[in-house]
Homo-oligomer: A and B are copies of this chain.
């Protein structure tokens, strides 16, 4: 029986994508060769890379607007470094909404000055700071749109004239936004886009070339753009599966359609968290709740064993909370069916009836 996979990442992918990926490991595009053993310069893979880059921009509404899409390696953690290396000449502003923002700040500080415009660290990041000002004299403003660990999400972004750089690792392609407000977006693939091993970077080309330092080739966005995301051997399989997932999203109707389902899933689960007297949500302000990761705790920890065994029996997988928060976290990424949320809600109600 296929599990109801609520894993925070690497996370659930569409079953049709998994089936195509599995087949391509044996025989890709009827070449009688595996996707794992063909040259990245072969016509078949170059097409995958080009189409994946185009499709990523198309989903975000950023085609023909001066943006480039890259599939790089190293995860968001490498982007913490690369964004600063390529954009930070003197000073940058960072909003601190969790461990990942914190790590981004740490790496940027090796490169230049960092102003932390606001933080929710003293409350273990259980809310999104608001009413901060973005200084006008910074090279860019950096934020994390969704915080998987705490289950918070930015639903508004500041109005500012400085370039906005956003880590969208855990909510990219999940909701409509005016993506042209962002000068650089990056996202590790392993939530809404594909397997671990590649990172999407979408960058407005006119923000590049403004720092005075020499940038090592592998860390240089312009080099990666000039080489069409193939400066060196790319992570072929991860890019291919990401492409399949982007195609799946297109077939589902794109971001606008998937957002409706994502809203249904989140509404259903939060409604139960708020209604069921056995559970409480972790996030302090309801308006900061993430539609991708719902964090909640048992009011009475003695019910943990009962809840866990009911969940397991129902095929619910991957709902343990992050160690820094505890409790539970149900990740509701694009590929998770509404049906899986129904099953989880039924488990919560079962335990309530038995308690």
Residues of A at the B interface (CB closer than 8 Å) are 1-3, 5, 7-13, 18-19, 21-23, 25-26, 31-34, 36-40, 73-78, 80-81, 103, 106-107, 110, 188, 190, 194-198, 214, 216-219, 231-238, 241, 315, 317-318
Decide if the interface of chain A is mainly helix, strand, loop or mixed.
loop
**CA–CA, A318 to B198, complex, Å?**
26
Q: Contact partner of A233 among B9, B19, B21, B218, CB < 8 A?
A: B9
**CA–CA, A167 to B235, complex, Å?**
19
Q: Contact partner of A33 among B3, B76, B218, CB < 8 A?
A: B3
| Distance from A205 Cβ to chain B, minimum over Cβ atoms (Å) | 22
B10 x A36 contact (CB < 8 A): yes
A190 x B107 contact (CB < 8 A): no
| Distance from A138 Cβ to chain B, minimum over Cβ atoms (Å) | 20
Q: Chain B: which residue is nearest A232 at the CB level? A: B77
| Distance from A311 Cβ to chain B, minimum over Cβ atoms (Å) | 15
Decide: A34 near B7, CB < 8 A? Known: A81-B219, A233-B188, A233-B190. Answer: no
**CA–CA, A8 to B42, complex, Å?**
12
B10 x A236 contact (CB < 8 A): yes
A37 x B22 contact (CB < 8 A): no
Q: Which residues of B contact A31 (CB under 8 A)?
A: 3
Q: Which residues of B contact A7 (CB under 8 A)?
A: 37-39
Q: Which residues of B contact A32 (CB under 8 A)?
A: 1-3, 315
Q: Which residues of B contact A3 (CB under 8 A)?
A: 31-33
**CA–CA, A9 to B216, complex, Å?**
24
List 10 A–B pairs whose Cβ atoms lie within 8 Å, in order of A's numbering: A3-B32, A9-B233, A10-B36, A11-B37, A22-B25, A36-B195, A40-B196, A73-B74, A73-B197, A235-B235
A34 x B18 contact (CB < 8 A): yes
B218 x A74 contact (CB < 8 A): yes
Q: Chain B: which residue is nearest A238 at the CB level? A: B197
**CA–CA, A194 to B25, complex, Å?**
12
Q: Which residues of B contact A197 (CB under 8 A)?
A: 73, 197-198, 235-238
A13 x B37 contact (CB < 8 A): yes
Q: Which of A19, A25, A196, A318 has the most CB of B within 10 A?
A: A196
Decide: A237 near B196, CB < 8 A? Known: A75-B73, A81-B218, A318-B39. Answer: yes
Decide: A21 near B2, CB < 8 A? Known: A75-B233, A235-B73. Answer: no
Q: Which residues of B contact A190 (CB under 8 A)?
A: 233
Q: Which of A33, A34, A36 has the most CB of B within 10 A?
A: A36
Q: Chain B: which residue is nearest A315 at the CB level? A: B32
**CA–CA, A68 to B25, complex, Å?**
30
| Distance from A140 Cβ to chain B, minimum over Cβ atoms (Å) | 18
Q: Which residues of B contact A317 (CB under 8 A)?
A: 33
